[in-house]
């Protein structure tokens, strides 16, 4: 979108100088000014934030991101859509961290409602939200965390039939699913759409993750061909304790950020195996 | 005969109390048979103690990769010197 000179002027008028932990001074603007300009101009908060960043003005809420990803990185995040498939243990944490990171548009896909047994590990679940749709609660929480960005909730289960429709606008897709057939469906759709898929799964104190680009061999290297897959794994017996999903979800978010900004080395064709019970992290190089 | 390493992950490493096993094997079938003989009973016993009842061989309920490729995708079963087998249980939680 084009931002007229008046908006630039208004942003500039809102600027304060902030002394950051690195000892340097940065021009910053605040959420109140961003929202006020956005409302008055009928544009989104993220468009105002992008216009500010393009002129070296940092929205204060992203100040601690900039040292790691730079102004350009933050602009890329604000201009990106990320889909999160599943808003449970992995997805709930992924969604909230993406909102805090300043992903401009978050697509949430989940057809399930919160149950009491979700409370131990699903960070979007609360006593008050019992019985509510996870995607709707997720959208509400994103608005509470970061009102400058937009969120599209779909109360739907991802299938081969609807995957293209739900994922087509995403730059990256994050896996918060809880069964293998849906993961293969999501991976296949991402491959066809040319979108990276950040796979993650958990069981007990263990978890795995990997970023699968469309040309990578992906899940079949780990599981073999998609026919004859079990729906569930060992997690039905080992359970999913409180911290394990947060550990893997946080790492998945780093992979999403890296894929969008181009920073760092993605976990491509390398399966990361986290074993929190033994305190060990391994990576398995996958054959191609 | 090739020298190979079997690497255990997740609960297998914990339940077996080891993260690797060194073997001399002719081919994949030989390696899997030796692995089954060396650690299969102990793993099944440990799983059973935790309510996971399995009477099949390890290869029937585990994910096994040879040099990073699932054995169900492999066209040939020959192992080269230094080959690594990675073995862990399927997990699907989210």
On whether both A227 and A99 belong to a single domain, the answer is yes
B-contacting residues of A 89-148, CB under 8 Å?
89-91
Would you state the pLDDT for residue A21? Answer: 78
On whether both A73 and A88 belong to a single domain, the answer is no
Looking at the complex, report in whole angstroms how far the Cα of residue A206 sits from the nearest Cα belonging to chain B. 6
Task: Tell me, yes or no, whether A2 lies in a domain.
Answer: no
**CB nearest to A275's CB, from B13, B69, B92:** B13
Domain that holds residue A64: 7-77
Would you state the pLDDT for residue A234? Answer: 78
Task: Tell me, yes or no, whether A151 lies in a domain.
Answer: yes
- A31 pLDDT higher than 80: yes
Banded pLDDT at A230 (limits 50, 70, 90): confident
Which DSSP letter does residue A79 get?
T
Share of chain A above pLDDT 90, in %: 87
Q: Which residues contact B69 (CB under 8 A, 6 or more apart)?
A: A221, A286, A287
Q: Which tops the pLDDT comparison, A101 or A235?
A: A101
Q: Nearest CA to A75 among A42, A99, A51, A39?
A: A51
Q: Which of A77, A104, A127 finishes a domain?
A: A77
Cα separation, A141 vs A145, in Å, equals: 6
Instruction: Read off the pLDDT of each residue in A212-241 and give the average, rounded to a whole number.
Output: 86
- A180 pLDDT higher than 60: yes
Residue of chain B whose alpha carbon sits nearest to that of A230: B90
Q: Is the dihedral of CA A47, A52, A56, A57 positive or negative?
A: negative
Cα separation, A278 vs A70, in Å, equals: 36
Per the listing, tokens 């911290």 go with A243
Candidate CATH numbers 3.40.1260.20, 3.30.200.20, 3.40.190.10, 3.10.20.30; the one for domain B2-88 = 3.10.20.30
- A82 pLDDT higher than 90: yes
On whether both A105 and A47 belong to a single domain, the answer is no
Q: Spell out the domain ranges in chain B.
A: 2-88
The answer to whether B91 and A183 have CB atoms below 8 angstroms apart is no
Q: Which of A26, A60, A77 finishes a domain?
A: A77
The ipTM estimated for the assembled molecules is 0.94
Please give the C-alpha separations between residue A52 and each of A19, A34, A123, in angstroms, as whole numbers.
18, 9, 32
Q: Mean pLDDT in chain A?
A: 94
Looking at the complex, report in whole angstroms how far the Cα of residue A92 sits from the nearest Cα belonging to chain B. 10
Would you state the pLDDT for residue B55? Answer: 81
Q: Nearest CA to B3 among B85, B73, B62, B74?
A: B85
Environment class of A144 (CB within 10 Å of its CB; exposed 0-12, middle 13-18, buried 19+): exposed
On whether both A105 and A236 belong to a single domain, the answer is yes
pTM greater than the 0.80 cutoff: yes
Q: B2 touching A, CB under 8 A? A: no
Task: Tell me, yes or no, whether A1 lies in a domain.
Answer: no
Share of chain A above pLDDT 70, in %: 99
Q: Which tops the pLDDT comparison, A19 or A244?
A: A244
A1-28: pLDDT as tens digits: 556 778 889 999 999 999 887 888 999 9
Structural domain count of chain A:
2
On whether both A267 and A216 belong to a single domain, the answer is yes
**Per the CB < 8 Å rule, is A284 touching B14?**
no
Q: B75 touching A, CB under 8 A? A: no
Would you state the pLDDT for residue B27? Answer: 94
On whether both A252 and A124 belong to a single domain, the answer is yes
CATH of residue A204's domain is 3.40.50.720
On whether both A61 and A134 belong to a single domain, the answer is no
- A236 pLDDT higher than 60: yes
Q: Which residues contact A6 (CB under 8 A, 6 or more apart)?
A: none
List chain B residues with CB under 8 Å of A275. 9-10, 13-14
On whether both A168 and A268 belong to a single domain, the answer is yes
Q: Which residues contact A106 (CB under 8 A, 6 or more apart)?
A: A81, A82, A83, A84, A95, A98, A99, A142, A149, A150, A151, A152
List chain A residues with CB under 8 Å of B73. 220-221, 224-225
On whether both A117 and A184 belong to a single domain, the answer is yes
On whether both A64 and A84 belong to a single domain, the answer is no
**Per the CB < 8 Å rule, is A222 touching B93?**
no
Task: Tell me, yes or no, whether A223 lies in a domain.
Answer: yes
Instruction: Read off the pLDDT of each residue in A84-105 and give the average, rounded to a whole number.
Output: 98
Q: Which of A28, A52, A77 finishes a domain?
A: A77
B32-88: pLDDT as tens digits: 999 999 999 999 999 998 888 888 899 888 999 999 999 999 988 899 999 999 999
Cα separation, A175 vs A186, in Å, equals: 8
How many beta carbons lie within 10 A of that of residue A114, not counting itself?
A: 23
**CB nearest to B14's CB, from A175, A225, A278:** A278
């Amino acid at each position: 979108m084009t931002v007229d000179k008046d908006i630039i002027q208004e942003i500039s008028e809102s600027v304060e100088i902030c002394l950051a932990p690195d000892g340097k001074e940065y021009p910053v603007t605040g959420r109140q000014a961003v929202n006020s300009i956005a409302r008055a101009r009928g544009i989104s908060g993220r468009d105002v934030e992008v216009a500010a960043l393009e002129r070296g003005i940092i929205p204060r809420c992203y100040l601690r991101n900039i040292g790691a990803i730079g102004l350009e990185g933050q602009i890329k995040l604000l201009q990106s859509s990320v889909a999160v498939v599943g808003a449970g243990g992995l997805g709930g944490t992924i969604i909230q961290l993406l909102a805090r990171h300043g992903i401009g548009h978050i697509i949430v896909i989940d057809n399930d409602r919160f149950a009491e047994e979700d409370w131990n590990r699903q960070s979007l679940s609360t006593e008050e939200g019992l019985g509510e749709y996870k995607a709707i609660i997720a959208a509400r929480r994103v608005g509470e965390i970061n009102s400058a960005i937009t969120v599209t909730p779909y109360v739907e289960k991802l299938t081969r039939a609807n995957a293209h429709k739900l994922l087509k606008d995403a730059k990256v897709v994050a896996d918060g699913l809880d069964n293998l057939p849906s993961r293969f469906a999501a991976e296949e759709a991402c491959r066809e759409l040319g979108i990276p898929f950040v796979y993650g799964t958990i069981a007990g104190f263990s978890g795995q993750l990997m970023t699968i680009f469309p040309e990578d061999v992906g899940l079949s290297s780990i599981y073999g061909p998609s026919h004859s897959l079990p729906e569930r794994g060992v997690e039905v017996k080992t359970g999913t304790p409180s911290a394990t999903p947060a550990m893997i979800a946080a790492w998945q978010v780093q992979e999403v950020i890296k894929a969008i900004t181009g920073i760092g080395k993605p976990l491509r064709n390398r399966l990361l195996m986290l074993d929190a019970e033994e305190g060990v992290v391994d990576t398995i190089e996958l054959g191609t | 005969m090739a020298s190979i390493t079997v690497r255990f992950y997740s609960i297998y490493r914990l339940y077996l109390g080891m993260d690797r096993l060194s073997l001399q094997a002719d081919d994949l079938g030989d390696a899997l048979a030796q692995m089954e003989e060396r650690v299969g009973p102990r793993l099944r016993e440990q799983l059973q103690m935790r309510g996971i009842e399995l009477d099949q061989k390890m290869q029937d309920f585990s994910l096994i990769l040879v040099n990073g490729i699932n054995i169900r995708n492999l066209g040939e079963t020959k192992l080269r010197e230094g080959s690594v087998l990675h073995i862990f249980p399927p997990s699907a939680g989210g």
